[in-house]
Amino acid sequence: MNVTNRLKRLRNHYRLVIMNEDSFEEVVKFKLTRLSVYIAMSSLFILLISLTTALIIFTPLKYYLPGVGYGNAKQIKEYRILKLRTDSMERALMHNQAYLSDIQKVLKGQIVKLDTNKLILPHTENAED
């Protein structure tokens, strides 16, 4: 097929008729060419892509996409530092609470006497391996 033959096929006119099946009445009719259908579908495709992109960029939906919307490198670094700080503060708080509960037991006279013969040190347990 040569180029002029293809252009003629794109410009041939077609009629799309939507009819009522019961009465055979024409409800809607369109005069179309292959070129107009191609242009309409391409425009619709580009419009949908543009709307989807705009929806993701300009709304909070971007925060639900992996790898997008988490901020820049500086914010990520600050987040990691804050996470480390909160973890260390949490550990320190747990140690302080354990220390205070032990002091309260001592002051109330609830001292638990440990049998030192039953204590096994972790490094002596693996020494035989």
Supply the pTM of this predicted model. Answer: 0.47
Residue with tokens 């425009």: 43
3-state SS, residue 19: strand
Please determine, for residue 100, whether its predicted confidence score (pLDDT) is greater than 90: yes
How far apart CA 10 and CA 31 sit, in angstroms, is 13
User: Cβ distance 26 to 17 under 8 Å?
Assistant: yes
Q: How many helices and strands (H and E) does the chain possess?
A: 4, 2
Residue 62 has what pLDDT? 79
> Three-state SS for 29?
strand
Render pLDDT for 58-83 as a digit per residue (tens, 0 to 9): 888 877 777 665 566 777 788 889 99
